[in-house]
Structure 1
């Protein structure tokens, strides 16, 4: 690289550098038996609802904790640090057992580390599914137009098994069938 090229490089740390540095420092203070040599870190600039994820590469026996830049910017540090601890529990499970979930073992270790079982969402949902049974208060949040959103008549409430309605969060438009979904989408046009 020539001297002229090196002047184009900004040596200032980025938000991703800051996020990873803080996360790694915090992780080293967490009382969990993770093999640090088999743990990698990454930042997602694309994640819109998931604050973190832990991916297991079984062939390499390496866990990669991926943290969301948007969550880092949206949360206070204590909330984000809890996300780091949550993902460390997944990394520990993968390294120890080759699998991870949110079951009893996860809950026990997460509770010891004051990590949430599920990380809070940092983005408002685009759609809200609501049970139509007056005696049920089941709700589900969705960020994408998945099949439970586009064809709700094919699915049932996750709690009582009744039908549910889907609401476009921004407009308040509701539908219970695929054709009503199409009508709502067409009616909203550019506001979809």
Structure 2
């Protein structure tokens, strides 16, 4: 890890929610280059594809990789719209850690190395839920609830599965307002 990196001023790079997708991506890449330079990360921002996801509901960002080679950084538009630039800058730092650890150790996980870098780059290991789920899968025994965004096999047939925590029976309920019961 780097010694005494310069503090990063996310406000300098800030874009507002009315920005276009191309401008958002351009600023994201410039900010990423600054992070890489300040923290000596083994990341070539220019060699990565950068994209916006308008479909993602459970993640604020992602690194797509093949054979442990990082290829694309994807940032979630809804997360940016909901939480703004400062939170998205944190996501960029998070994703850069993934790229760095893939390059250095073929490690895409959120393990100990990731946690150390997250502390260094002042970012989180996980993100908070920012979209309401369409369904909830609920354990009838312990009451644990699992959000679901797609009508998966688990949502369609909860009786074929068991709770991972206690082994209890599961049920699914529609969380969408005015759902027509499909």
Q: Provide the TM-score with structure 1 as the length reference.
A: 0.71
Q: Give the gaps of 5 or more residues in structure 1.
A: 1-13, 173-184
Q: Larger Cα Rg: Structure 1 or Structure 2?
A: 1
For 2:138 and 2:114, locate their aligned partners in 1 and report how far apart those are by CA, in whole Å. 29
Deviation, 1:114, is: 2.0
For 1:144 and 1:88, locate their aligned partners in 2 and report how far apart those are by CA, in whole Å. 28
Residue 161 of structure 1 aligns to a residue whose secondary structure is coil
Match of 2:117 in 1: 109
- Does structure 1 residue 18 correspond to structure 2 residue 23? yes
User: Which of 58, 72, 95 does residue 80 from structure 2 map onto?
Assistant: 72
Residues 43 and 96 in structure 2, CA contact (< 8 A), matched pair in contact too: no
Residue 56 of structure 2 aligns to a residue whose secondary structure is coil
Match of 2:165 in 1: 159
Deviations for 1:111-160, whole angstroms, at most 9, x for unmatched residues? 22222212223211001122222xx3522111001111111112122322
CA RMSD across the alignment: 2.6
Q: Provide the TM-score with structure 2 as the length reference.
A: 0.75
Deviation, 1:73, is: 1.6
Please say which of residues 105-114 and 32-41 is displaced more in the overlay.
32-41
Matches within 5 A, 1:23-62: 23-30=28-35, 31-36=39-44, 37-58=46-67, 61-62=69-70
- Does structure 1 residue 132 correspond to structure 2 residue 140? yes
Q: Give the gaps of 5 or more residues in structure 2.
A: 1-18
Deviation, 1:33, is: 0.9
Match of 2:16 in 1: none
Please say which of residues 41-50 and 92-101 is displaced more in the overlay.
41-50
Match of 1:119 in 2: 127
